[in-house]
Chain A
Amino acid sequence: MSILVGPQTRLVVQGLTGREGGFHAAQMAAYGTKIVAGVTPGRGGERALDESVPMFDTVIDAVRETGANTSCIFVPAAGAGDAIAEAAEAGIKVIFCITEGIPVHDMVGALAIVRAHGAHLIGPNCPGATSPGANGSGTKVGIIPASIHLPGDVGVVSRSGTLTYEAVQSMTDAGIGQSTCLGIGGDPIIGTTFREALELFAADSATRAIVLIGEIGGSAEEEAAAWAAENLKHLPRVAFIAGRAAPEGRRMGHAGAIVSGASGRAVDKIAALEAAGFKVAGSPTELPRLLIEAGYKKS
């Protein structure tokens, strides 16, 4: 099994006819993801991805006609909040938003609608999730490069994109596979927090160890650590926190990554994670070794 994405996933891609949407949809399909529909207003009735996928004008049409249960959003920032709300209203229960640069007030409104419908939003500004499988049997929703994955039983959750690729690549190189790799996004307001991701992994019988990749800013890592201390004792767990060398008061690229006063500092996050039984790496390349030290055994 896996979390959020897997064999049960029937994907609708919102913004499939755009440059990014089209490219990544083809990559997802090649990895084994079941893409059942695309949505671009005005393009209903067409077919995309070498004629293999029907296009719809609205998400609700796509859900009715194809039974789509998961969405991946590549819509440009100005319309992405609206696309999230549309997916939730259409009954989609797992919504990934890849789009970067969505105005934060749009997210406040969209997230309230997602919650009212009991749906899961992942992102925005996230790389998506992959539940690896061999030879076209995996499920990949988003933009994580397929080549870095190895099927396995370690759950990975991260706030950033390329840093996740770095960490996952080092695991794969060491022969340690992943149940699901999940990027939750680096914005101040996101749909799924570290703590919520850990809850999902804890309930997944196929996940037997946890890798958490955080960064400076906010207190989501501390909140996750507090929850893990009580509820994740049975799993080996390791972490990496980016931004130890970051100066105070300067936003490090991600809208969420800033140390302000005594809050959001790397040292506090590392201390909280260590107190909750995480082994914390000094470099992402140390994660495989620390996993073994934490008691993880390759299956």
Chain B
Amino acid sequence: MKLHEAEARELLRRAGLPVPDGEVATTPAAARATAERLFAGGATQVVIKAQVLVGGRGKAGGVKLARNAEEAEKIAAQILALTIKDLPVRRVLVAPAAEILREIYLSALIDRSSRGILLMASAAGGMEIEEVAAKDPTAIIREIAHPHAGLLPFQARRLGLRIGARGDLLKQFVAIATGLVRVARESDADLVEVNPLAVVPAPELPGGERLVCLDAKVTIDDSALDRHPALEAWRDEDSEDPIDREAREMGIAYIRLDGSIGCMVNGAGLAMTTLDLVTRAGGTPANFLDIGGGARADKVAAAMRIILADTGVKAILVNIFGGITRGDEVARGLIEARGQQERTVPMVVRIVGTNAKEAAELLTAGGFATASSLDEAAEKAVALAAGGAA
């Protein structure tokens, strides 16, 4: 689950990391009130940032500066009227604009290769890290945190020194880097990214410079949300499609695509393969859908509802390799679903493995078109979607 910038900043702030002041506003008037408070506190400019869970919001006009409270209200009204990549902007973050001397990149993430928590730092902050990596891979410094103790101070120092931090700034960097790993571990985040980690003037400090976390991205491991009810409460249900929500709540992995052939499969690898074979047979898949292991009739019926909610679906391919999942349960679910659904589209069903024989009897009695091999099922579904016979 991705957190919005405002919540990601809140998580870092609670962990004692330096995050600038700022507040979320849902109306232009509220944005103005926050801006007034920030200007009264000494801000020379404020930044107003759309809170949407997609990248590229700056380019879409979702991040703008204001020089006074009146302007902040006007800009907030503009941004709150935007729709960025299909997502309506419902909230903005209003924060003081910082005078940035330099930008650093810093992140902690779960790394498959080292099978641990990887810290990445770069003196070339502000840019997307993929761009930095493509241009100059040596500009990214890496450390693997200790699996039980987190990032140790000497590791954080090694990172900081190699991106040029010295003196008081190095001390600040060590606190922030170890803090990021602490946040990742305590909140079960698989990504905590601060970009930019900005160097701003701080005449009151020995080195005259201070590090602040200007923007933050945090993704929480979905498998761990059960033990973080407070984070689950931050879920942005408005940005979630109702169909996606139904799928998530039923434990069905569903991703809508653009094609015409709805797919219902058990197992993620087999579901991907089914999409591949539909594509190879000249068709276009309408979705990825994995009903999971051991699915019962009611889950099958829910999956059918989810597939049919997509009006682009012209045919359905059901592909089940029974293991834990029993073929006859799936067949019963399909028959039950057909009785309930408002719209009928042609369907081809392939069920093999556990209780396949019982399933075949049920399907034949129910008049379903069936297929024995996966390749054959894909070809039949493509023909059905094109208006042909199975």
Nearest-neighbour CB distance to chain B for A254, whole angstroms, equals 4
Question: Given A163-B273, A285-B375, A78 and B227 touching (CB < 8 A)?
Answer: yes
A243 interface contact, C-beta 8 A:
yes
Q: Which of A156-186 contact B (CB under 8 A)?
A: 158-166, 169, 186
Which of B253, B285, B322, B323 contacts A245, CB < 8 Å? B285
**Which single residue of chain B is at the shortest CB-CB distance from A189?**
B115
Interface centre among B117, B185, B288 (most CB of A within 10 A): B288
A229 contacts chain B at the CB level, 8 A cutoff = no
Q: How distant is the Cα of A79 from the Cα of B110 in the complex, in angstroms?
A: 20
A33 and B279 CA atoms in complex are apart in Å by 41
Q: Are A105 and B268 in contact (CB under 8 A)?
A: no
In the assembled complex, A7 has its CB within 8 A of some CB on chain B: no
Which residues of A (99-156) have their CB < 8 Å from a CB of B?
100-109, 111-112, 127, 143-145, 147-148
Known contacts A105-B185, A253-B253, A285-B374, A160 near B267 by CB under 8 Å: yes
Q: How far is the CA of A205 from the CA of B253 in the complex (A)?
A: 40
Q: Name which residue of chain A comes closest to B113, CB basis.
A: A219
Residues of B within 8 A of A253 (CB): 253, 267-268, 271-272, 288, 290
Q: Give B24 Cβ to nearest chain A Cβ, in Å.
A: 26
A160 touches B115 (CB 8 A): no
Across the interface, A242 reaches (CB within 8 A) one of B184, B223, B269, namely B269
Q: Is the CB–CB distance between B270 and A160 below 8 Å?
A: yes
Who on chain A is nearest to B258 by CB?
Answer: A247
Contact A161 B267, beta carbon cutoff 8 Å: yes
User: Are A283 and B293 neighbours in the complex by a CB distance under 8 Å?
Assistant: no
Is residue B224 contacting chain A, with contact meaning CB distance below 8 A?
yes
Which residues of chain B have C-beta atoms less than 8 A from A148's C-beta? 353
Question: Quick one: which of B146-169 are within 8 Å of A by CB?
Answer: 147-148
By a CB distance below 8 angstroms, the chain A residues around B354 are 145
Are B272 and A215 interface neighbours, CB within 8 A?
Answer: yes
Pick the contact of A165 from B253, B265, B323 — CB < 8 Å?
B323
Residues of B within 8 A of A256 (CB): 112
With contacts A242-B273, A252-B288 taken as known, whether A143 is within 8 angstroms of B323 at the C-beta atoms is yes
| Most chain A CB neighbours (cut-off 10 Å) among B115, B265, B268, B269 | B269
Q: A220 an interface residue at 8 Å Cβ cutoff?
A: yes
Binary CB contact string for chain A from 180 to 202 against chain B (1 if under 8 A, 0 otherwise)? 00000010111000000000000
Q: Does A250 interact with chain B (Cβ within 8 Å)? A: yes
Q: Which residues of B contact A216 (CB under 8 A)?
A: 272
Q: Are A162 and B269 in contact (CB under 8 A)?
A: yes
Q: Which residues of B contact A108 (CB under 8 A)?
A: 110, 115-117, 147
Bound CA–CA A47/B51 (angstroms): 57
In the bound assembly, the distance between CA atoms of A241 and B27 in angstroms comes to 49
B:74-114 near A, CB below 8 Å: 110, 112-113
Q: Which of B115, B188, B226 has the most CB of A within 10 A?
A: B115
Number of interface residues of A (CB under 8 A): 62
- Could you tell me the distance in whole angstroms from the C-beta of A51 to the nearest C-beta in chain B? 25
* Chain B residues whose CB sits within 8 angstroms of the CB of A247 once the complex forms: 257
- Cβ A186 vs Cβ B269 within 8 A: yes
**Please, what's the 1-or-0 string for B30-71, where 1 marks a CB less than 8 Å from any CB in chain A?**
000000000000000000000000000000000000000000
Minimal Cβ-Cβ distance residue in B for A102:
B223
User: Is the C-beta of A213 less than 8 angstroms from some C-beta in chain B?
Assistant: yes
Count of residues in B whose CB is under 8 Å from the partner chain: 51
**Cβ-based interface call for B178 (8 A):** no
Verify A166–B293 contact, CB threshold 8 A.
no
| Known pairs A105-B188, A213-B269; A169 contacts B352 (CB<8 A) | yes
Residue in A127, A245, A282, A284 whose CB lies within 8 Å of B275: A245
Contact residues in B for A254 (Cβ distance below 8 Å):
268-269
List the A residue with the shortest CB-CB distance to B325: A162
Given contacts A108-B147, A284-B374, contact A145 B278 (CB under 8 A): no
User: Which listed residue (B257, B273, B285) contacts A166, Cβ 8 A?
Assistant: B273
User: A78-B227, A250-B255 are contacts. A104–B269 as well, Cβ < 8 Å?
Assistant: no
Report if B266 contacts A (CB, 8 A).
yes
Say how far B332's CB is from chain A's closest CB, in angstroms.
Answer: 19
B276 at the interface (CB under 8 A from A): yes
B272 touches A243 (CB 8 A): yes
**Contact with B280, one of A215, A246, A257, A282 (Cβ below 8 angstroms):** A282
Residue A298 at the chain B interface, CB threshold 8 Å:
no
- CB atoms of B353 and A145 under 8 A apart: yes
Chain A contacts of B268 at CB under 8 A? Answer: 160, 186, 215, 252-254, 257
Query: Are A283's CB and B374's CB within 8 A?
Result: yes
| B246 close to chain A: CB less than 8 A | no
Proximity bits, B189-201, A CB within 8 Å = 1, else 0: 0100000000000
- Return the chain B residue nearest A216 by Cβ: B272
A-side contacts of B285, CB under 8 Å: 245
Q: Which of B130, B223, B266, B323 contacts A103 (CB 8 A)?
A: B223
Inter-chain contact A166/B275, CB cutoff 8 Å:
no
Q: Output the least CB separation between A132 and chain B (Å).
A: 16
Q: Contact at B277–A283, with CB atoms within 8 Å?
A: yes
Chain A, residue nearest B289 (CB): A253
Identity of the chain A residue whose Cβ is nearest the Cβ of B55 in the assembled complex: A249
With a cutoff of 8 Å between Cβ atoms, the chain A residues found around residue B185 in the complex are 105
Whether A162 and B270, one on each chain, are in contact in the complex, defined by CB atoms closer than 8 angstroms, is yes
Taking the complex as formed, is A267 at the interface, i.e. its CB lies under 8 A from any CB of chain B? no
Question: Contact string, B334-363, partner A, CB cutoff 8 A, digits 1/0?
Answer: 000000000000000000111000000000
Contact string, B237-278, partner A, CB cutoff 8 A, digits 1/0? 000000000000000010101000000011111111101111
Top-8 shortest CB links A-B: A160-B269, A253-B268, A162-B267, A163-B269, A112-B147, A103-B224, A253-B253, A242-B272
Residue pairs across A and B with Cβ atoms less than 8 A apart, 28 shown, are: A78-B227, A103-B227, A105-B221, A108-B115, A143-B324, A161-B269, A162-B265, A162-B269, A165-B353, A166-B270, A186-B268, A186-B269, A189-B112, A190-B115, A215-B268, A243-B276, A244-B276, A245-B285, A246-B272, A252-B271, A253-B268, A253-B271, A255-B222, A256-B112, A257-B268, A257-B269, A283-B273, A283-B276
Given contacts A158-B269, A243-B275, 11 further A-B contacts (CB under 8 A): A20-B324, A105-B117, A108-B115, A160-B270, A162-B269, A163-B272, A165-B321, A166-B321, A215-B272, A244-B279, A285-B375
